[in-house]
Structures are given as structure tokens and as C-alpha cells.
């Protein structure tokens, strides 16, 4: 078996950190026309370590949603000029926010109206005045489950990597960040070589094992803030922020050699396998679809040139 390689250390020596990944605090968006009420809720939630933002003019909600990306919305019902129930329906109609839990916080006492609120997209209903521990625990459990559901929805079941949609979204986000921070960014399209042959010769379960082994190799050797996604069946997308094309090639060549020397298990005995990569970089290209198209072209060249190679 090949020795583990320290690609992460190599890249970190070349690039400087621009941001850190930490376990993110819960982000709660509080919508209430009464400033004292929203400030009270905010204080309670902040004391349990959550990050909050208050919206007292309901119509500003949609602007704040996009910039704050909340884990949960705590929503008042009776507000002048805008009803919390209608507002929650609007939020629910937006693809990005279908999974964001909405908890109503209102003085409404009528049970029928409370149930009505739930059927309109609310996940829970708390009555004012609310006890601090009740507010905190209701929100914590909703956010925990919400985060778990989003994670499942974003993850590829076989490899545990990001799935196609999520990796594309992360590419967009990292590209936006790279532009703002004026740093480079490389993307890698990776495709296993002769994988149909692997399946035909060693069986589909062995093929699956190869996919998992590759995913683990990538996870263990790339940096925490690199994006690794299973883009298609046996095709992977890697996004390397703060790495130019040449750096990305050095990194991927190390991984390529390491992978090609790896043994995979099958009923027919152990076997080896390789991959090819195409690389494209920002600022040479400055939008996601051009980057993907260019990396795909380079990947095609790598295949054409004999496979088991990385092409810029
Ligand atoms: P090339 O070197 O040109 O990429 O050849 P290839 O055989 O890898 O390419 P091709 O696109 O012809 O075949 C891809 C194969 O990948 C076919 C498909 O059965 C296999 N595949 C896709 N997804 C999975 C999966 O989840 N598990 C397994 N075991 N195989 C998969
Ligand atoms: Mg009100
Ligand atoms: Mg292939
Ligand atoms: Mg393919």
C-alpha cells in the first residue's frame, strides 16, 4: 500500500487561509413588528449561543432571508400591512427555503386558528408570553432536525460526498467569494478510467468500493474548505479555493499517483484503477458554467492522451 501523502500541508504552504470552517452557530431570523418583543426573543436565543437577526418591517424579510440564510424563522402573526401566515406561505414557495422551519410566536389563543397556521407551512406554534426555556428548546430541536434533513438532502449516499446539486451550489458560492476576496480558484473534473471495464470484470459491488475508496482518499488529503462532490456516476467535481491551475495540477497529480497504486478488493482478487482530471481556473474564466465546460474539455484531452493524467 502507498504511504499517505500530505497534500493538505503542501497546499497550505502555497496558499494562505482566507476563512475558517467551524461548527456554525444556529442562525435565527426573528420577524415581529413589535421591537420589544423581537429584542426579548433575540436576547434569550443569544444567551443560548445562537445568532439572531430581527426584522421589524415584515416586507424586508425577503431581502434579509438571502443575506442571512437562517436555520429557522421565528414569526409573529399579527403585523400591520402584512400577515405572518401569508408571509410564511411566500417563503415556502421559494425553492431555497422549503426546508427552513417556521415557528409562529403569537398571542393568538384560538386553537382553530393555531392549527390553521400549522397547515399553512408552520412547524410549531408558541404562545406569547413564552417562557425562555420553552422558546430555546423548541427552536433547538427544530434546527437540529432541519440541519440533519438539509445535510441528507445535500449528501451522496454511497460516498458521503456532496451530491451534484450541492457541489454546483458550493462552486457558485466559492466563486463569488474568490471574486470578492480577489483570490484564485481552481476546479477539477475527475473521471475514473475504464470504469465500465472495472464493473464488467470485478462486479458492481467492487466498483462501488472503488468509488468509496476514491472519496475517502479525496476527503483525507484535501483541505477542509475544499469542495468535493460526486458530480455524476463515476465523475467527481473538486473546487480548490485559493489555488491556481498549476497548484491544482500538483495536488491532483499526487492524488492520482496515490490512487493508481491503491489496491481494491473484489471476489476475483485485488485490482488497481486510475482516474483522469481536467482543470480550469478563475480568474482565467469567471463564471461557473464556463469553468465546468473548460474543465470538461481538459478532461476529454486527458482521456484522449491516454488516461491516468491531469490536464490544464
Ligand atoms: P472512460 O475511461 O472513457 O471514462 O471509460 P469508462 O468506462 O469509465 O466510461 P463510461 O462512461 O463508458 O462508463 C462509466 C461507467 O460507470 C458505467 C457505469 O456502469 C459506471 N457507474 C456509474 N455509476 C456507478 C456506480 O454508482 N457504481 C458502479 N459500480 N458503477 C457505476
Ligand atoms: Mg404583532
Ligand atoms: Mg469513466
Ligand atoms: Mg464518465
Label residue 83 by pLDDT band (50, 70, 90).
confident
**Whole-prediction pTM:** 0.81
> For the chain, what percent of residues have pLDDT higher than 70?
93
Q: Is the pLDDT of residue 265 over 70?
A: yes
Residues with CB under 6 A from ligand 1: 158, 191-197, 199, 204, 207-208, 211, 233-234, 303, 307
Instruction: Return the minimum-mean-pLDDT range out of 15-29, 219-233, 245-259, 296-310.
Output: 15-29
CA 79–ligand 2 middle distance (angstroms):
4
> Bigger pLDDT: 111 or 1?
111
The atom of ligand 1 lying closest to the CA of 196 is: 7
Q: Whose CA is nearest to atom 27 of ligand 1?
A: 208
The torsion defined by the Cα of 139, 68, 182 and 236, in degrees rounded to 10, comes to 50
Label residue 259 by pLDDT band (50, 70, 90).
very high
Angle at alpha carbon of residue 249, lines to 244 and 250, rounded to 5°: 100
Q: Whose CA is nearest to atom 13 of ligand 1?
A: 196
Residue 23 confidence (pLDDT): 59
What mean pLDDT do residues 234-253 have? 98
Q: Active site residue: 234, 268, 293, 301, which one?
A: 234
Question: How distant, in Å, are the alpha carbons of 47, 169, 228, 241 from that of 173?
Answer: 30, 6, 14, 11
Q: Whose CA is nearest to atom 12 of ligand 1?
A: 196
The atom of ligand 1 lying closest to the CA of 191 is: 4
Q: Contact, 106 vs 30, CB < 8 A? A: no
Q: How many of the other CB atoms lie within 10 Å of CB of 105?
A: 26
From the CA of 300, which ligand is nearest? 1
Label residue 233 by pLDDT band (50, 70, 90).
very high
ipTM above 0.90, yes or no: yes
Residue 111 confidence (pLDDT): 80
CA 31–ligand 4 middle distance (angstroms):
47
CA 195–ligand 4 middle distance (angstroms):
8
Q: Is the pLDDT of residue 168 over 90?
A: yes
Residue 18 confidence (pLDDT): 35
What is the SS3 assignment for 241?
Answer: strand
Query: Across all residues in the chain, what is the average pLDDT?
Result: 91
Q: Is the pLDDT of residue 212 over 90?
A: yes
Q: Is 234 a catalytic site residue?
A: yes
> Bigger pLDDT: 85 or 255?
255
First to last CA, the chain: 29
Amino acid at each position: 500500500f502507498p504511504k499517505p501523502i500530505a497534500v493538505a500541508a503542501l497546499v497550505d504552504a502555497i496558499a494562505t487561509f482566507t476563512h475558517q470552517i467551524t461548527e456554525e452557530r444556529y442562525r435565527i431570523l426573528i420577524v415581529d413588528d413589535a421591537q420589544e418583543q423581537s429584542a426579548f426573543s433575540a436576547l434569550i436565543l443569544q444567551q443560548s449561543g445562537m445568532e439572531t437577526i430581527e426584522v421589524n418591517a415584515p416586507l424586508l424579510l425577503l431581502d434579509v432571508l438571502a443575506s442571512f440564510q437562517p436555520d429557522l424563522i421565528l414569526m409573529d402573526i399579527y403585523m400591520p400591512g402584512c400577515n405572518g401566515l401569508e408571509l410564511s406561505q411566500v417563503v415556502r414557495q421559494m425553492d431555497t427555503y422549503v426546508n427552513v422551519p417556521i415557528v409562529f410566536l403569537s398571542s393568538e389563543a384560538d386553537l382553530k386558528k393555531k392549527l390553521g397556521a400549522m397547515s399553512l407551512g408552520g412547524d410549531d406554534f408558541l404562545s406569547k408570553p413564552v417562557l425562555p426555556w420553552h422558546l430555546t428548546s423548541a427552536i433547538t430541536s427544530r434546527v437540529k432536525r432541519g440541519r440533519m434533513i438539509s445535510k441528507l438532502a445535500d449528501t451522496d449516499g454511497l460516498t458521503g460526498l456532496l451530491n451534484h446539486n450541492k457541489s454546483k451550489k458550493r462552486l457558485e458560492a466559492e466563486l463569488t467569494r474568490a471574486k470578492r476576496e480577489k483570490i484564485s480558484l481552481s476546479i477539477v473534473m475527475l473521471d475514473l478510467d475504464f470504469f465500465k471495464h472495472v464493473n464488467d470484470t470485478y462486479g458492481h459491488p467492487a466498483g462501488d468500493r472503488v468509488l468509496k475508496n476514491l472519496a475517502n482518499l479525496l476527503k483525507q488529503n484535501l483541505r477542509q474548505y475544499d469542495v468535493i462532490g460526486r458530480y455524476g456516476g463515476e465523475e467527481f467535481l473538486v473546487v480548490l479555493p485559493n489555488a491556481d491551475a498549476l497548484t491544482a495540477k500538483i495536488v491532483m497529480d499526487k492524488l492520482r499517483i496515490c490512487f493508481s497504486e491503491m489496491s481494491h478488493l473484489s471476489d476475483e482478487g485485488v485490482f488497481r484503477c486510475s482516474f483522469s482530471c481536467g482543470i480550469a481556473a478563475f480568474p482565467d474564466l469567471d463564471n461557473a458554467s464556463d469553468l465546468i465546460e473548460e474543465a470538461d474539455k481538459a478532461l476529454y484531452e486527458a482521456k484522449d492522451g491516454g488516461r491516468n493524467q491531469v490536464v490544464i
